[in-house]
Each structure stands twice: as C-alpha cells, then as structure tokens.
Structure 1
C-alpha cells in the first residue's frame, strides 16, 4: 500500500496575507503583503510547495518603501503595501504592488535573482490597487488592476477589473485600458486581487470579491482575447467559506494565485484566517494556505469532492524540501536582523545598535511612542499560533526617569499591550500598559525592592488569555512573577481593532525627554509556539 504524504495548513502561519506565487523550473517562490511594516514584501522559496524558507525582503530602502510619519490617514498600521504580484519572465523577476500611503502608488521593482538586490521602484501612475502582470505568448506584458468603475461607482467598492499593455522598456502603460470584468455577482462589492492566466487558448481572470472579511470569495471568468468581454463561470464563486458559518475553523478564504507544477498538478495559494479563543477573533491575521484543484470543462474545480480549504491535505507530488529552520531564539550575535523580523514604518537606523553592548541589540529610548503614528523604536516578529511564549532579557540603567523599555504585543498603534521597565529613584519600576481604541491606560504598576539592571520579561498567551511576568534573578526559565491580572487578547484581533494586519510582538524603548541619551540593551528575543 502506498502511503501518500500529507501537509498541514497554513503553509505560512501568521500574518502573511495576499500570497502570490510563481515557478521557475523546479523552484517555487511566494511573496505576501506587509502594509506599513519595514522591510516590505518577504519572498519565500520552496521545492515542494509545503515547506518554505524566507530568502529575502524585497523592499529594503526608504526609496522603495516610503511610509510617512504622523498621519492617521497614511501612517496607520494597515496602510502601506497592499497585495503584491510576483512574476518571472525571460531571466527577470518582477514584483508589482501598491503603496497606498505614498504618491508612489502602483509600482514595479525587478531583480535577476529573487534574493536581490531589487531595483529602484518604477512608478506606473495607474489608478486603483492590487496590480498584477501577465506575459503573453508573444512576449508582450499586460497590467491588470482594480479601480472604481469608469462610468461611475454606485457605492464604495463598486469596482472594475481593467487591463492595459505595459511597455517593459519604459516601464510605462501604453494604449487604452479595457474594463474586463466587474465580478461574478450583481452589486457585489470589492472585485479585486486580479490575476490573468492562459490555458488551452483561453485567458482566465481570477479575482476575489466581497471584501477580505467573512464573506470573502474567489470567482473566475474567461475570454478568447484580453480586450473582449470576459464571461464569468456559471459555478461562481469557485471557492468561499462564508456558507460554512462563523464557527468553522478556517474562514475568509480568498485572494488566490495559482501555479502548475513540473508534474502537471495545479495548486492554489490563498489567504484565510483561523479564529480562536471563543467567538470570532482573528488575532493571527490572514495567513497563507494551500489547496489543490483540477480543470474540468475548461474551469477549475477546487479541492474536488470537498470544495473547501482544509487544515490537512495530500501533499503535492514533489520531492521533499527541507528549509533552514528559523531559530526560536535570536541572540543578536550578528549585526543585522534576521529576515523574519520587522520595524513599524521606516526605522530611524541611528536608534538601533549592535555596538553598544556585545551580543546585544541596543534600542535608543526615543520620543516616538508605540501608540503614535510616528516611528517607534520597536523590533518585532509575527504571532504564528494561538498559544505561545515570548520573552526577552533586558539590561537597562536609564538616566531619565521618563525612559522606559521592555516588550510589547502589537496589533496597531491603537491596540497593543506593553510591559515596560523604568527607574524610579534607586529602584526598578514596572508598568503594564494597555492601549485600546487609542486610550492609553496603565493597568498595573509595581516598584521593586531594589534596582535591577537586568530583568527578563515574559508574555505567555493561552489562547486569548495573556499573562505578563518578570524575573529579577537573571534566570531565563524560572522565578517569574506575574504582574497584573490576566489580560484579554481579543482586543488584538482584527475583529475588534479593524484593519488588515495580524499581531506581532517585540522589544521596545521610549522616553519623554528629547534630550535623553538612554539605551536599552536586549540580550535576545525568544518566541515559542505552545
């Protein structure tokens, strides 16, 4: 008896939304959205579609990823980079996306090697969001995007999917744009996330509809020409979980991209969420899932016989790929951050140092707060499971009593928790701060019996119950004292906080004194799923 390999969804757990995929030979590459986090647009590599290794971040300079400070409209955590598309053509990789926070708008960057370096951005001046690229058999390239209906939108989200030729020499759109499709259902809002594919003489246009929340769905249309009317499939939507109810463990499926393997199998990557902790709370954000499909009668059939995304499935018929593991603990022994760690908005690089204390990452206490729309001194990584442990060891002896440092779990500037250490006279002072709906509240504070230059800070999440604690002994794994009562993690879900991002946690430093020169030294960050 042949035992087939299985795989576990999501293939990219945590805040990795809007996946896009391309194949080059027997190598597969996936990229995802990052919004106002920096660097932007991670790329992952695989050979089996199941196990993935991050190989780069595409947008690594302020020129490629300009995010303004201080603007509730443009600096909000869920602004920035929307929905990339990754494609390969004639020896060059193309990544096209939208920066909704800057006049750069829709732009392209290119690279000969997916690991980079990636080029300067080429702004396109095109309208709307969610741009995609399609390379036809004759070598011509076409832009496909989303914008409000040209004849006038009847309501917010009344969009059209449009196509226009792109001149790769000038990186400019040429000719007239064509309104290819308005989606599968009448009065359906937010047809978006388009991708074009060609198969058996047909051009296929696959999109998402109904927004990226619970009603999210995937629909498809086809045409014999890029500039003739696309006809929707009578079986649309070809995939949705909205009919499965709010208690189903995988929800809001959508925003797909597809790939054919070298063995002739077809697979789809898409986003979805995993609510947990009772009711409907999606702290992990939108994650990347994998689902098989086949073609029948000229149309795709998703996960035949089931038509849903499952948490486990039969793996692709591809050789096993073993990626380099991401260590649970980052000891800051190198002079660069690992690829999976991020900043909020464009970092002020002078506020981060590997030289202040050996084998530590030092953060300068800065006046931009985590609860602001500015540039806090904050290094973070994604939450990847409902229950986890996160901790860091801090060495901190500030001169200003307004300087604070510690750990935080962050959904946005408007919803987060912070466990911060400061100096009160000759003693250490600890505060647990909750930011909810922009209201900053100290929920618990404690002055210790002595000054402890080194403290270990810990957060344990048991589903939606958050436990914050500290240790004065210098031990990494014992003698922890809980501070405050159990806190409610539900405020960190998109269902409470809004927006499009998932939760991150990291290390942070702040001050209320602009003349202060206080630095917090972090020995490590450790994240372990329970």
Structure 2
C-alpha cells in the first residue's frame, strides 16, 4: 500500500477548509495580513495539492489598511460547493467583519464581498433540505444564524449551539448533514498545544446537540508527538466512501518549550465511522494513502519573472501597490520600488513566499543599482532577518522586538550579485561542530538549542562560492517568540529606490544543488 507524508501543504497554511466536486478536491486557508488573500488549492487525491490562485486577489475584495496589525486580517474561511457555485465565507478582523464571495469556477473570478451583520470569527455555511442557509460562527461560544447568502441579510438568530466540552476558545464550527443527522464539528482548547477537535450531533441544525462520548475525538495535547496543536478541522468524503479530515498542526523543534517557525500547516488524517461517530487516530507523519495517488507537477524551484503577473504563491504584507513592482519595466526581471524606508514599519515593498520546509536554501540574483534592497526572512515588522545591499556593501541586519542591529557587513563590487539564505535544523550539525560540542553547547552555547540556524551569504560578481556573512539562531523568528498566527515568509524587498531581481530560487534541502 502506498503512503503519504504530512503535512500535505507545508508552511503557513492554517485553518484548512475543503470540499469535493466530483473527483476534484478544493482547499482554502487563512491568510491574515497578507495580500492577495485566501490561497486556494486543487487536488485529485487529497495528498498532492497545486495552488490555483487566491480567492481575494483584488483590492476591492480585500483592503487592509497600513495600520492593520500583524495576525489581523483574514481569519478561517469555509469553502463549500452548492447549487453549481463555489461559496467562501470568512472574517476580516480589524476591517468589515464577516463576508462571503462566490464563483462559478474555483479559478475565479470571485465576486465582490457580500457583508453579513454577524459578530465573531470562523463562520461556516451550510444548506438545509428546504434551501435554508445556515451560518455557524464563534462568538463567546458557538452560535448559529439563518442568512440570505445573496444579500447578506440575517433572517433568524443568532442563537446558541453546543460549545464543546468546556475547553477554552470553542471555535471553527462546521455543520454537515450526514445521513439522518446534523453534525457540528468544532475546535476547542486554543490553537496552541492544547488544541483539540470535538463533535456533536442533532436531528436539526438548530439542535439540541448531543456530544460524542469520546470527545475530544482528536488532540495531541500533553504528548511528545512531533506534530502538535492539532485542530481546526474539516471533513470530506472521498468517491470510494472513505472519510478524511484536513486540519492544522505545527512541528515544534529545539529545546523546551520548543519553537515552531513555519506557522500552522495543513495535515491530513483518515477517519472511520463507528456507531454513528467519527473516529480519528493520532495524526502521523506518514499515513497509508488514499488510492489512487495522482501527483501534480511540482512547483518550479526557480521563478525567472518572465510572466507579466506574479505567480499566486507570492504575497505581500497588507497590499501590493501597482507602482511598487513590475515585470515589464525590465523584461525578465522583477523590479521593486520602495514605498517605505524600513521593514520595521508597515507600508514597505516586500514580495515573498511561505517557507514550507524545515530546511531549505533561498537565493536571488539582485542588481541593486543605487537602491537599498535584499532578501528578508520575516514573521512581522518586529521580527525579521535581512540580507541587504546598499552603498557598495552587503550587510546582515536583525530585528527582534525593540532591538535592531547590523551583525555583519562586507564590501561588494557594483553590479549584479547573488544573495543566499540557508536554513538548517539542528539534527544536522553545523559545519565544524562535533557531536560532543553539540551536546555540551560549546562553542555554540545556547544557540544550539533553537529550532534551526539561518545563515546569510553573498556571491559577488561572477563568484561561484558563497561568502558567508553571518549565522543566526532561528528561534527569534518563531511564533513562541514573536507570537501571532502566521509563519515565516521569505522574499525580496526594497527600502530605497528601485532594484531588479533576475530570479528567485526556493530549494528544499533534500533537493539541494551544489
């Protein structure tokens, strides 16, 4: 029997919601303060996913003011297919609240938002047999309202539903009609290490709901499993009658309390039904796969910026003004023009992608001209490491909370040069460090106990061997340090003038070249 590896969508892809249309599966995730918003994926086997685009890809659909805090923005969408259309409902936290958009095709175009006058977060959408549309959501417990999905009008409610087993933060409700029962799946315990999945059922979406006798049906709390924070789940039935659960989880590493740096990722686990209740085993790194597997074409390692539009994996904090980027001013290059003079405040020019693997190499060919530009590994404006070029030198700058410092600098000749960022976990010893030194902490000291090491190098001119400038502990770019709901995003930026990038490579370590 074939198997698959978790996570099925690595990196900062939390709060998965999925639906099936015939033989095809579609999945959407939260995007928080990044634009475009709500990445949308397609699969034929639940394991191999290809990003089709982003649901909210126009400023008219998603406008995030410069003052939008990190980890605000778009929370927890629910994706469904009903009446020949795709429906997605979500919440803009710090903005207009709950809204929904629709599309005939998952690739779009998706409609302008229809706003719904409901409080809370994590809205769900479901239809009864008589055509009634129900919206369950989290607001100091799980509540339910009947809505008109085309106008956004609230027709009935909201009123309280079942809110779990008493753990904190009951959220992420999903209503399903399965057989003669309505099932209400929720998350509780908080999205940190206490996260859990619980379920109840009733004969009507209004309830009353009876809880499953084995609640929570899934949690990794208080275990030593490598996958933690399991929760915020959604269920789907495959054409062969098997059932599956998509959910978020994290992969913390390093010394206690351990640190997760990639954000909350999307995992997949099988579901059995016993006596009318779903039974879910622990989420494994490797599971028997749905059959048959249908791999998709892998994402290219290199982006040469030969197309007028950017690929859907590229995101920017809050906005991407038209004048801040171009692939046509210098064909075959991405030109970034500064809109702010620092990465420490919102309003800067940054184009990045999610870090999706614990170990990877990120590199880019930069022609800085008279600009100040480079590569950044970021969690938010207060937590980022930058490799930048300006005024004839390359330097490494670290921002951790209120502290910012230039840690290394080196003169570089004018003209294009290659910037390299390597991320390595501590399962692999850093160069020149013995196993005994790793265990005792000497000479690396406390640095060796973090989740990974991030090193920064340059290849000036036509050089073929990188020159290392600095090596930094990755724990300071983790959720446990920075807080929040996102994960690392790596990419290119400009904070003065205009700079050109010829290409950008993202290479997982297992496929590393050279």
Matched ranges for 1:165-176 at <5 A: 165-176=146-157
SS at the partner of 2:399? strand
- Give the one of 267, 288, 303 matched to 1:289: 267
Is 1:506–2:483 an aligned residue pair? Answer: no
SS at the partner of 1:211? coil
Q: TM-score, normalised by structure 2?
A: 0.92
The more displaced of 166-175 and 33-42 is 166-175
**8 Å Cα contact 2:175-2:205 kept in structure 1:** no
Q: Return the offset for 1:368.
A: 4.6
Partner residue in 2 for 1:108: 100
Alignment partners' CA distance in 1, 2:295 and 2:119? 41
Partner residue in 2 for 1:202: 181
Alignment partners' CA distance in 2, 1:343 and 1:438? 23
Is 1:471–2:459 an aligned residue pair? Answer: yes
Q: Return the offset for 1:387.
A: 1.1
- Cα deviation code 1:77-107 (max 9, x no counterpart): 21100000000101110000011021x2100
SS at the partner of 1:490? helix
**8 Å Cα contact 2:136-2:175 kept in structure 1:** yes
SS at the partner of 1:521? strand
Partner residue in 2 for 1:255: 232
**8 Å Cα contact 1:216-1:242 kept in structure 2:** yes
Partner residue in 2 for 1:362: 335
- Give the one of 363, 369, 373 matched to 1:397: 369
Partner residue in 1 for 2:424: 462
Alignment partners' CA distance in 2, 1:169 and 1:472? 57
Partner residue in 2 for 1:67: 64
Q: Return the offset for 1:447.
A: 3.0
Alignment partners' CA distance in 1, 2:400 and 2:462? 32
- Give the one of 110, 128, 132 matched to 1:136: 128
**8 Å Cα contact 2:43-2:49 kept in structure 1:** yes
Matched ranges for 1:71-470 at <5 A: 71=67, 75-102=68-95, 104-147=96-139, 159-185=140-166, 188-245=167-224, 248-279=225-256, 280-302=258-280, 307-317=281-291, 319-372=292-345, 374-398=346-370, 403-423=371-391, 428-448=392-412, 451-463=413-425, 464-470=452-458
Structure 1: gaps (5+ residues): 148-158, 512-517
When the two structures are aligned, how many residues end up with a matched partner? 482
SS at the partner of 1:206? strand
Alignment partners' CA distance in 1, 2:381 and 2:150? 41
Q: Return the offset for 1:375.
A: 2.1
SS at the partner of 1:16? coil
Q: TM-score, normalised by structure 1?
A: 0.89
Alignment partners' CA distance in 1, 2:397 and 2:207? 57
Is 1:487–2:465 an aligned residue pair? Answer: no
RMSD (Å), alpha carbons: 1.3
- Cα deviation code 1:460-479 (max 9, x no counterpart): 1112111101011335xx22
SS at the partner of 1:181? coil
Alignment partners' CA distance in 2, 1:40 and 1:267? 26
Alignment partners' CA distance in 2, 1:193 and 1:429? 49
**8 Å Cα contact 2:117-2:152 kept in structure 1:** no
Q: Return the offset for 1:324.
A: 2.6
Q: Return the offset for 1:298.
A: 1.3
Alignment partners' CA distance in 2, 1:396 and 1:243? 49
Alignment partners' CA distance in 1, 2:245 and 2:254? 28
- Cα deviation code 1:437-476 (max 9, x no counterpart): 132211222334xx3211111001112111101011335x
Is 1:496–2:481 an aligned residue pair? Answer: yes
- Cα deviation code 1:222-247 (max 9, x no counterpart): 111222321212211100000313xx
**8 Å Cα contact 1:20-1:86 kept in structure 2:** yes
**8 Å Cα contact 1:473-1:479 kept in structure 2:** no
**8 Å Cα contact 1:408-1:505 kept in structure 2:** yes
- Cα deviation code 1:260-296 (max 9, x no counterpart): 1111100000000111244411001110000001111
Tell me: CA distance 1:407–1:182, structure 2 relative to 1, closer, same or farther (3 Å).
same
**8 Å Cα contact 1:276-1:386 kept in structure 2:** no
